[in-house]
Amino acid sequence: MKKIKFIVIAGSSGGHILPAIKYLNIISKIKEPNEILFISNEIGKNYIENINDNRVNVLIFNSKNKFAYILKIFFNLNSLFLFNRKITLLGFGGFITTPILIIAKFFNIFFLSSNRINIHEQNIIYGLANKINYFIAKNAFISFPKHKMRSKEIFVGNFFIDRERAKEKLDNNFINILLMGGSAGSLDLNKKMLKEIMVLNTKYLKKLKFFVQIPNSHLEIIKKKYIDLIDVNRCTFFSFKNDLNIKEYDFILSRSGSGSINEILYYTNNVYFMPHIISRDQHQKFNLNYFLSHNMSLKKFSIPNKKNTINQFYFNSLINPHSIEKIICYTTR
């Protein structure tokens, strides 16, 4: 890592890490991969295999002890910034971004470096880390349009998973139901789905197939609850699926994280969103309110009793699937 021109930082959740990896996969095609560094924490370690080019440099730091993390960042990155005086940095959110961006700013002020500091905010409101990072950054790439944008803000739209990837094909003889809430955030969604299933008659249930996301830590407990109510052959359980085909489902119950909302509503509005209310700033509630105000999702939870029309036309003008490409334009020119 003697020569680094791009540093990408993301941690804490898949909502931060997945857009960062898409950025890495695009920029490594047009810039030298061995001049790119990705920094993440113990959560990001689970996503490293999604980086397409193994020549991209990767640093993983344990951030559970925040004080120890800051010390490790300081001692490990000082020499890198000292010998690379013109780095383009992009922080995708999470606590781990802030110390690194501060060090880059420190070198700009005291060592006359020319580091370009950028951040990306995927939610309608800034997370705590990005509230601090905004004052350090040159550009703040935002995902939701605003009537009044701040001086550093550039609207790019939201992160979008690769549309060209292989996608599943479901049996259209069934009404296909999808529950997705993130690997760690779907427990109350499953509780709501199970409650609804319990009041459905057996004849109707035979028409339904369920595809349910469950955290690995709760798989056996929740799986048993479904199987007690439904034939096991009509239930598929997963913690992560890389080939989800949103258009194949007749009804979706989902979290209202920014990535989930944009990925789903690009293809269908047959979805009921439940915000994760435990989050400190309740950003999922604000994300959802934006789309509810534009009548872009279901306001009532109800499992359908018939299949949706396969050739149904649906278009969402509020969502741009090329947000990461727009960021690439700004950070490489």
183: Cβ contacts below 8 Å, ≥ 6 apart: 14, 213, 215, 216, 239, 240
Could you tell me the CATH superfamily of domain 175-292?
Glycogen Phosphorylase B; (3.40.50.2000)
Average pLDDT over residues 125-150: 94
Q: Where are the domains of the chain?
A: 6-155, 175-292
The confidence band for 243, taking pLDDT boundaries of 50, 70 and 90, is confident
pTM, entire model: 0.86
High-pLDDT (> 90) share of the chain, %:
61
Question: How many whole angstroms separate alpha carbon 115 and alpha carbon 40?
Answer: 19
pLDDT beyond 70 at 162:
no
What is the tens place of the pLDDT at every residue in 59-93? 999 999 999 999 999 999 999 999 999 999 999 99
Domains 6-155 and 175-292 share a fold: yes
Of the listed ranges 7-11, 35-39, 201-205, 270-274, the least confidently predicted one is 201-205
At how many degrees (to 10) do helices 66-83 and 97-110 cross? 40
Residue located via tokens 């971004």: 97
CATH number of the domain at 6-155, please? 3.40.50.2000
Selected residue with higher pLDDT from 252 and 296 = 252
High-pLDDT (> 70) share of the chain, %:
95
Residue located via tokens 């009537």: 147
